[in-house]
Structure 1
Amino acid sequence: MAATQPDVGSSPASEAGHPTKIDRALLKVAAAVIAGSIMAILDTTVVTIALQTLIVEFKTSFDTIQWVTTAYMLALATVIPVTGWAAERFGTKRLYAFALILFLAGSVLAGLAWNVGSMIVFRVLQGLGGGILTPAGMTILTKAAGPGRVGRVMSLLGVPMLLGPLAGPILGGWLVDSVSWRWIFYLNVPIGLVALLLTLRYLPRDAEPTRRAFDVLGMLMLSPGVALLLYGISNIPRAGGVTAGVWIPALLGLALVAGFTVRAARVENPLLDLGLFRNKRFTIAISTLSVFSVSFFGVMIVLPTYFLMVRGLTALEAGVQLLPLGLGAVVTMPLAGKLADRIGPGKVVVPGLVLIASGLAVFTRVGPGSGYWTVLAPGLFVVGLGVGGTMMPVISSALQLLEGPAVARGSTTANIIQQAFGAIGSAVVSIVLAAGLADQFDVPVSQGQLVATEALADPLRRGAALELVSDTYTTTFTCSLALMVVCLVPAFFLFRQPPGARGPGGH
């Protein structure tokens, strides 16, 4: 197994030589990474708004057009495991610039797509670039910041990660309605060119690349394994349960991932360095990230659909009404990063989770007549305050412990975990919602949302249907709340000292 990197947070000496204040040089590096992140994250959300338009444009079905998003997700999941090795082999600056160029090329070609087949192919190209951008960007920021500043600089990266899902529907809806669906892809060009210019100008020159051998067999096991697992899990809501189209790819993917894990413990230089998990603090941080990803991505799936179905809003209106969540996060995210660097992430993440749970508790008791400004907006704002205090400190709690090549490997691991468990959370909450609607309207699970939507559109049935749908959402929010409470368990064990302080469990 690859050698385990030392826990750089386990002794005061590890802070020596690392600056603790945010300077202009670090802000320039952060600007390059944030610009690329904004482009990639916005793209994933604005495309969703355009799916119905693309069905009409390409004269295809919903099942087929879903591959516009599914192909992107699978390409992204396939390339993430390779990023750690590629960062060491070619350098993070070169890799990040390559990812930007790849994403830009995919964006331009997707905007020029002439049928659904070409659109899916070009989305795969985008996904390959997008899958590199986030872990490579995290690696660049973590190395540039050092352990004493990683919490604060990760909080800067967290702003586009959170605002993307909120601003995306608003921007996407406006572009589709007022300009053209092609501009949801062309929009990436100016942002991407700015990101590429900043990358070439401000990112530090790469050190001499390592010659670590590429784990070809590991790649052939892990990359398709992760993609198959995510595909199977993500299929649960569409399939209406665990059907053959769900469990066959998921089981095959799980077998490949398990095979990779067994093999990685026995070979030199595996694609994913499982030796990092010998570090107790890293393991606790990744465990917290796993449970948080399940709960957070589940919440982010169900909140927009609540405003669409129960409140009867358009996608654009729903995006606007979700803005208090983003505003709450903007308030706490910079402060949370600073506190995580000063007092340790454990003292920041736990209160953040309590805030998220408190805000979600509001949605477990709302009805069709609940006021937006008096009930819903305050609840969203409190959830946002909690998300701002939780999301990036959880990630930085893992990465701030690492140095050297371990940073790229740790970033790759964190991104795989976030993608995989985020897909699980989205699927779990979606199937709870779909099963609840099916039960309320006495139809198969796969037809629950369709029948509920039709009932809400019928003036004669809308009143009764609205009560049933609203009750289903309160049950689903209760499930989301329970998942967030469970996240408190591993969060209590996150280290509660600054990165340079000696604490229990550091070895």
Structure 2
Amino acid sequence: MTAPRTPLIPPRVAVVVVYTAAMCMNGLDSTIVNPALFTIAEDFGRPVSAANAVETAFLVALALALPVAGWLGDRFGTKRVFLGALAVFTAASALCGLAQDLPVLIAARAVQGLAGGLLTPVGMTLLFRAFAPDERTRLSKVLIVPTALMPALGPPLGGLLTEHLSWHWLFFVNVPVGALAVLIGAVGLREQVEGARARFDRAGFLLATPALGLLTYALGYGPSHGWTRPAVAVSGLLGAALLAAAVVHLRRAAEPLLRLRLFTDRAYATGSALAALTSAGLMGLLFAFPLLHQAALGGSALDAGLSVFPEALGLLLASQVVDRLLPRLGPRLLAVPALAVATGVFALLAVAGVAEHAWAVRALMFLVGLVLGTAVLTVQLAGFATLAPPDLGQAMGLFQIVRTLGGAAGIALCAALIGGGHGTGAPDAGPYRVAVWSTAGLVAVAAVVALRLPVRAPGPPPPDDETAEGAAREAPVVA
């Protein structure tokens, strides 16, 4: 009998490397284009409002892909779907960079969004299936890079590339990274097919997919274009109606596109609720506070953007401590105090006189990243600990849907509270402070919900588990 060949790239190393590369690309692309929209509009001789469709196309398309991500991964294999989406994302990035007119750029950006909507849930499924629940605390260092650092680096990097090269390079930077990641994944990843149902839930697809797209469009455009504008109002109402119909159908269907029964798992349901609340609070704060900073100080948009950057540094530090604290303290004891402290920090940012002091703002934003990042990572790791591997694909898709809608709702809430704060002359800081206080309220609710988290951290799998034994034979990954 011949000994099994040693893989060229250990599978778990390949999972970490490819996932990190893909999510960094996806994370950067969510923010890197924003500083270049004026330049893009100018190059194509179009108004900025038309260029905004570049970002809207990406976000709406991303939302459209989320409902089918879990089904596709289970049906065709997580490796095949993930690498296929990564290849499409990379190719679409090249097309964006080569675009010579705005419609082509918008279309290529939409393709990017569709592929990006598959990358996150399928990529996290690959990652979580490669590591047992008790090993996932080490993944905090991997999970935080694309979710915290890359979106924060997007605006300054986008401005730098646009100013010194051209906006085309915002997309070209993805091409070598994506091509290398696809190559590493093709060699090192293992295929995982869970055997999804043969029948595709067409009714669930036709209800859930447009519902998410319409709601994302309404929540994204409502604050800036007005909630009563026909396109926004119709999209919001129709999206809400379709979502309600989708929930009814998915609860009754024998083979639903999205398995809502997963919410009967207490840890997962609690984690999903916390993901929505914390995403709403954080995204709302990152939207409202730079506006407050400008209203109070009269500073530039660049100053305001730099004022919130320490939040990403705090998140990075949180990723270094969660893997040490979670096994000792357990999810509940770690998340509840962190969210309680985060509530106080959020509220302090709205106190009169705080926004006027740049270093106080930077210190508080660093604390936001540290304490909220600790809670978010704890929730993300604890929420999936009790799920069986075959359910991870569906669970990841649902989790991303809930978190995406939560973030969009948080921004919309803050925008609604700010209301007419964008007047002429010196702006009144009051509405902006109210919006920031509302984000503190969202985090406070999350602290109460976190009391439902498990007391103990996940333990190792049974010793006779064949999958665990196989994983144990592989070289450990130092994340």
TM over 0.5, shorter chain: yes
Aligned to 1:199: 185
1:342-357 equivalences in 2 (<5 Å): 342-357=328-343
Gaps of 5+ in 2: 1-9, 461-479
1:172-191 equivalences in 2 (<5 Å): 172-191=158-177
Aligned to 1:489: 448
Alignment partner of 2:397 out of 391, 397, 412: 412
Alignment partner of 2:372 out of 387, 412, 416: 387
Give the Cα separation in 2 of the matches to 1:317 and 1:179.
Answer: 23
Contact 2:121 2:393 in 1 (8 A): yes
Alignment partner of 1:281 out of 267, 291, 297: 267
Aligned to 2:474: none
1:286-365 equivalences in 2 (<5 Å): 286-307=272-293, 310-365=296-351
Identical-residue share of aligned pairs (%): 32
Q: How far did residue 380 of structure 1 move?
A: 1.1
Q: How far did residue 208 of structure 1 move?
A: 6.7
Q: How far did residue 268 of structure 1 move?
A: 2.1
Aligned to 2:224: 238
User: For residues 452-482 of structure 1, what are the alpha-carbon distances to aligned partners after superposition, in whole Å with 9 as ceiling and x for unaligned?
Assistant: 4xx3xxxxxxxxx1xx444443232222222
Contact 1:102 1:128 in 2 (8 A): no
Amino acid paired to 1:486 = V
- The answer to whether residue 27 in structure 2 is matched with residue 35 in structure 1 is no
Amino acid paired to 1:159 = V
Q: How far did residue 340 of structure 1 move?
A: 3.0
- The answer to whether residue 78 in structure 2 is matched with residue 92 in structure 1 is yes
User: For residues 176-197 of structure 1, what are the alpha-carbon distances to aligned partners after superposition, in whole Å with 9 as ceiling and x for unaligned?
Assistant: 1111011111111122123223
Q: How far did residue 321 of structure 1 move?
A: 3.6
SS state of the match for residue 455, structure 2? coil
Aligned to 2:89: 103
1:248 and 1:318, CA in 2 relative to 1: closer, same or farther beyond 3 A? Answer: same
1:440-479 equivalences in 2 (<5 Å): 448=422, 451-452=423-424, 455=425, 465=426, 468-479=427-438
1:201 and 1:309, CA in 2 relative to 1: closer, same or farther beyond 3 A? Answer: farther
Give the Cα separation in 2 of the matches to 1:215 and 1:404.
Answer: 22
Q: How far did residue 131 of structure 1 move?
A: 0.3
Aligned to 1:168: 154
SS state of the match for residue 388, structure 2? coil
Amino acid paired to 1:31 = V
1:154 and 1:132, CA in 2 relative to 1: closer, same or farther beyond 3 A? Answer: farther
Aligned to 2:465: none
Matched length: 453
Amino acid paired to 2:159 = G
Give the Cα separation in 1 of the matches to 2:18 and 2:327.
Answer: 22
- TM-score of the superposed pair, with normalisation by structure 1: 0.84
Give the Cα separation in 2 of the matches to 1:265 and 1:208.
Answer: 22
1:15-34 equivalences in 2 (<5 Å): 26-34=12-20
Give the Cα separation in 1 of the matches to 2:296 and 2:118.
Answer: 38
Gaps of 5+ in 1: 1-23, 438-447, 456-464, 502-507
SS state of the match for residue 412, structure 1? helix
**Over the residues paired in the alignment, what is the CA RMSD in angstroms?**
2.4
Q: How far did residue 211 of structure 1 move?
A: 5.0
- The answer to whether residue 336 in structure 2 is matched with residue 377 in structure 1 is no
Give the Cα separation in 2 of the matches to 1:311 and 1:33.
Answer: 40
Aligned to 1:224: 210
Aligned to 2:439: 480
- TM-score of the superposed pair, with normalisation by structure 2: 0.88
1:345 and 1:296, CA in 2 relative to 1: closer, same or farther beyond 3 A? Answer: same
Give the Cα separation in 2 of the matches to 1:308 and 1:278.
Answer: 44
